[in-house]
Amino acid sequence: MRAAVYHRSLLLLALFACLGFAACAPQNTNTTYSAADIGRTAQISYGTIVSMRPVVVQGQQTGVGTLGGAAVGGVAGSYIGGRDPRANILGAIGGAIIGGIAGTAAEGAVNKGEAVEFIIQEDNAPNPISVVQTNEDGFRPGERVALTRGARTRIARVAR
């Protein structure tokens, strides 16, 4: 009885860990700055958006999804077979493998996002440049933008 309570507690802990990493995934937008960016100077230039295209941004895998999924799968799989210890061990191993694969897929989905690649012709530059960022401001080709080059290059609408 005591082992069953322990296994359920471990299962809940692993489940909350998996959900927790998804909730804590950084939301990188054009308007998101890190604390280290505050007070940092940046150079500004101006240009015009020539073209745009949607792109997929894939974050780095940390392994948290794999470990969390394996833990949840292993605990859940250990219940297979009832009181037969060999069946419990095989179930735990199989559950850990399947859970790890599922956790890896879940982490990949959480770390994936969409952005836009903007091709911009700067006023005083011979060649256009590319800037990838989110488009929560609704930029369109032909718009004038200010390019801020600091920790990252960002574009912002030019006030008229």
* Model confidence at 29: pLDDT above 80: no
* Model confidence at 5: pLDDT above 60: no
Tokens of 139: 């930029």
pLDDT confidence tier of residue 150, bands split at 50, 70 and 90: confident
- Which residue in 122, 140, 145, 120 sits closest to 130, CA to CA? 120
Residue with tokens 């179930």: 91
* Model confidence at 75: pLDDT above 70: yes
Round to whole Å and give the CA distance between 86 and 108: 33
pLDDT tens readout for residues 97-122: 888 888 777 766 666 678 899 999 99
Q: Which residues contact 101 (CB under 8 A, 6 or more apart)?
A: 69
pLDDT confidence tier of residue 65, bands split at 50, 70 and 90: confident
SS3 call for 19: helix
